[in-house]
Chains A and B, each alone.
Chain A
């Protein structure tokens, strides 16, 4: 089955620096890659996602890149701020049209990002 590896497990940066979190996946049929942010004591929330027909997507200070050949995707946060401190989860899944459990998200183990003022 699908496996998603996420690195690093912890990341500490100075405010204003950039942060990069990387994920690799094993199932070459995966075509949807979301990123979730979980602030302390709160629920995970989707911050950005990318589908396999796109190589890069940006939303203000965050961007996601996808390399389908190498089966890896990355989250980039520029000009980090203290409010970016959280646990970030990557995930991968196949198209729901496959049916059954193959439409479920497989999550990485998470990266705890700390942004120091």
Chain B
């Protein structure tokens, strides 16, 4: 049974703080993703990684960075949090190659005040 976990379900931070969101998967998946979910906007891809140490920008990377030092862990970093980054953040992982199902984590509801 695939398990994708995220470090926090709820997080409240102040404007200007550096924020770390962690995602861990236990199924040896090559590919990992960070999405942002906002009402009416669906799931928007922030960053993704197809391998350790590899990262690529998604559709809305501005204000974010990522780190993937180990295969099972993919971190999203908000260098200087702003109120417009208040959102639900979802991590996902999948096996690399022709198997397509993405498994999502439970999400982190981040509020920046």
Residues of A whose CB lies within 8 Å of any CB of B are 6, 9, 32, 34, 42-46, 49, 89, 93, 95-97, 100-101, 104-105, 107-110
Contact A97 B90 (CB under 8 A): no
**For the complex, what is the distance from the CA of A36 to the CA of B13, rounded to whole Å?**
30
Contact B40 A109 (CB under 8 A): yes
Contact A34 B105 (CB under 8 A): no
Known: A43-B106, A89-B42, A109-B40. A104 touches B100 (CB 8 A): no
Contact B42 A32 (CB under 8 A): no
Known: A9-B40, A43-B105. A104 touches B98 (CB 8 A): no
**For the complex, what is the distance from the CA of A31 to the CA of B48, rounded to whole Å?**
21
**For the complex, what is the distance from the CA of A90 to the CA of B58, rounded to whole Å?**
18
Residues of B whose CB lies within 8 Å of any CB of A are 4, 33, 40-45, 48, 56, 58, 90, 96-98, 100-102, 104-107
SS of A interface (majority):
mixed
**For the complex, what is the distance from the CA of A104 to the CA of B34, rounded to whole Å?**
12
Known: A43-B107, A44-B104, A101-B48. A96 touches B97 (CB 8 A): yes
A-B contact pairs, 28 of them (CB 8 A): A6-B42, A32-B100, A34-B100, A43-B4, A43-B90, A43-B104, A43-B106, A44-B43, A44-B90, A45-B104, A46-B101, A89-B42, A89-B43, A93-B100, A96-B96, A96-B97, A100-B56, A101-B48, A101-B56, A104-B33, A104-B48, A104-B58, A105-B102, A107-B43, A108-B42, A109-B40, A109-B41, A110-B42
**For the complex, what is the distance from the CA of A105 to the CA of B42, rounded to whole Å?**
12
Known: A32-B100, A46-B101, A49-B100. A104 touches B40 (CB 8 A): no
